[in-house]
Chains A and B, each alone.
Chain A
């Protein structure tokens, strides 16, 4: 950055903040942090500036960093759902890039603050995760780093299986039972396993708290990115840009929201849907939708035939060695999109029985919703659950149309 750029950025941020307020965005106070690529990638990999150590974060870090080094992809920004809201900007970004990103993250911050899915999230998670990291270090010193890592491997294998209902309703403790089943698998095991030591229980509770914090982001990816894209376009267009800045803006913008062949780009899909709604129902409707919907209901309620055609959406399937388009009907497109977004994209598991055969065996149940589980992963994950439960564990799911129960007793899988 040339010496005057920090001031220019300061002025632009001030201007964009003002514009956003004028347009009715309601966001948390913003804390922009300039940082070098390595820092951005590590925050990207960990999901937080400070979080506990695990090799899988190192793996993610390595992947992101080498993609950046090879010019394959670049993270421009990162934003954290917190109050104040932290946004990280790459210090090698151009001024224009940073303007665009500031506008984009203002959209995210407004979404975090107002969308119903985020209502129960802990806005002080930045600090809490740092505390968790300290605890984890202490456990490492006390029980051995390898021991902790091994336990984390097992805990993280089931960390997605939480129940966001409680976090949202703000009720502490306990489990929500539905038809005698508990969706909060990790919480249930943390509380009920007779096998765990206290530090291990604590780790499971920490993993669960972190997952509950991340959960709304997974449920609202399309909306959240669409909303942020909508606003960066609107706000940056109101800045006085030079000709060269306009060209740079267009290039960068199309890089972010361009449709990717064969895949759904959430930025693009979200943006297109929002614009469509705005055209029909006005801007007010958008503000309402951003408050109440998640991706699943958003798609269910607002994806129209017209839009699906305009975006050239289709359903495809593997046919031998080829991927073939199988359907273009709105119903099929919707069903498949919704299915892939349901439960954050994770299989829906519940604890169905914790005393199977009267021997304290655990039965997990997969509510089959048309997608089968990957067998190879069942074989690797069930032993992890066993490690946490300490006794034989079962998983009931559907394979080739028939109900099937897998079992792992500590020695072999059946």
Chain B
């Protein structure tokens, strides 16, 4: 057997990290692309109202390498069956993504052209993090609440004074070595050895071995370095948010969907960023009532519309449970604006009353078509308080715009 015909090698591949590095670069680009697509994603139906932290697939076209390629969508292709396939047989259904061909189990390496987008996978939490990046409860005021709390501490500084339990061993040892080194005690500064040395408890930092090659290092009081920390205060959390939705008969599937998307993200956002925000859910047709979260997001109703009913209920709830001066209060109302004509002035008057005691009142009007009554919208335009914000939502993508308008840095007009 000719020995040169083959050899088997077992190399050390531990430095072979290129794939990981380029993968990071790709991930950053995915994140950028997602950030650009947030408006679409926020209103994506598959995302709203799922349970748990399921992974969602996000189509991102811009992350697919551009190339001139065929469009196989409506072109004939060759397939293979298990036997006996006849002309006219149905061999598969096109998926939602439209790019899916039959029998594609998702594990093909993608050598076929015509796979026309890249799917990023991310959890709802990851998406939420991006959506919420710049959102906050606007006009939040520190209220005289006792429950201002420190959530966390962060060690981020090194000082010469501090508690023994917070001695920064590495820095201390480093100082000792530096001092001795400068004083001629030892000649080299053995970083590696210092990093590996073990250490006695901080209570007795008298001596320690910095590695056999370097000789003993003696630590004096001057060498001691302490870690110190900073309190991280989350935003003051005594706030109440009233989520109010029109569930009257004129609110069609689209309108309800849009309102619920907004509230889905709003509740998620508030619960992620704030510790103790209370959210209460009110729905109304001609009458308003408080409902539990579940029904708010799932149940539909019918009947006429009297928007004032929900503003009245909001006032009563704030009056009863949230004395001003102790709570930041927010009210968000979504409707299609199709209100009883005679009720518009009443609604505006009650909204004005609300504005005197809330940090913000946000009104979202979902209007798919340009036509249709604009009376409520126009009546609302008489509200001049800087705490009032309104937004028209014409398409699903406006949910994100409205989130930004209501929870953006500055109050949008």
Residues in chain B within 8 A of chain A (CB atoms) = 1, 4-11, 13, 16, 18-27, 29, 61-63, 65-94, 101-111, 113-114, 116, 118
Verify B22–A53 contact, CB threshold 8 A: yes
Q: Find out whether the CB atom of A263 lies under 8 angstroms from the CB atom of B104.
A: yes
Bound Cα distance from A373 to B113, whole angstroms: 11
A333 and B78 contact, Cβ closer than 8 Å, known pairs A73-B107, A324-B91, A325-B87: yes
A356 within 8 A of B: no
Kindly identify which residue among A158, A321, A326 contacts B93, using a CB–CB cutoff of 8 Å: A321
Known: A34-B9, A325-B86. A62 touches B26 (CB 8 A): yes
Q: Which of A55, A73, A395 has the most CB of B within 10 A?
A: A55
Tell me if A53 and B80 are in contact (CB < 8 A): no
- Contact status A261-B68, CB under 8 Å: no
Residues 3-51 (chain A) with a chain B CB within 8 angstroms: 6, 9-10, 13-14, 17-18, 21, 29-36, 38-39, 41-42, 45-46, 50
- 24 contacts across the A-B interface (CB closer than 8 A): A13-B6, A31-B7, A35-B13, A42-B20, A57-B19, A58-B23, A61-B20, A62-B27, A63-B110, A72-B107, A153-B66, A161-B68, A261-B82, A314-B79, A314-B80, A324-B90, A325-B91, A346-B67, A347-B69, A349-B68, A366-B68, A372-B71, A377-B116, A395-B68
Determine the chain A residues whose CB is within 8 A of the CB of B62 once the complex forms: 380
Chain A residue nearest to B81 in the complex (CB): A312
Q: How far is the CA of A395 from the CA of B68 in the complex (A)?
A: 10
Query: Are the CB atoms of B25 and A328 closer together than 8 Å?
Result: no
Task: Check A6/B92 contact, CB under 8 A, given A58-B23, A61-B22.
Answer: no
User: A41–B20 Cα gap in the complex (Å)?
Assistant: 10
Q: Which residue of B lies closest to A15 (CB)?
A: B1
Most buried by A among B24, B81, B104, B106: B81
- The interface residues of chain A lying within 8 Å CB-to-CB of B8 are 6, 9-10, 13, 32-34
A157, A262, A347 pick with most chain B CB within 10 angstroms: A262
A-B contacts counted at CB < 8 A amount to 258
Give the chain A neighbours of B78 by CB distance below 8 A: 264, 313-316, 333, 336-337, 340
Contact pick for B70, options A50, A54, A332, A373, CB 8 Å: A373
- The majority secondary structure among interface residues of chain B is loop
**Does residue A124 face the partner (Cβ distance < 8 Å to B)?**
no
Of A33, A56, A312, A373, the residue contacting B85 (CB under 8 A) is A312
Q: Is the CB of B1 within 8 A of A328?
A: no
Count of residues in A whose CB is under 8 Å from the partner chain: 94
Cβ–Cβ contact A46 & B19, under 8 A? yes
- Which residues of A sit under 8 angstroms from B16, Cβ to Cβ? 38-39, 42
How far, in angstroms, from A73 to B190 measured CA to CA in the complex? Answer: 48
- Option from A36, A58, A264, A313 in Cβ contact (under 8 Å) with B22: A58
Q: Who on chain A is nearest to B121 by CB?
A: A66
**Chain A: which residue is nearest B22 at the CB level?**
A58
Q: Is A283 an interface residue (CB 8 A)?
A: no
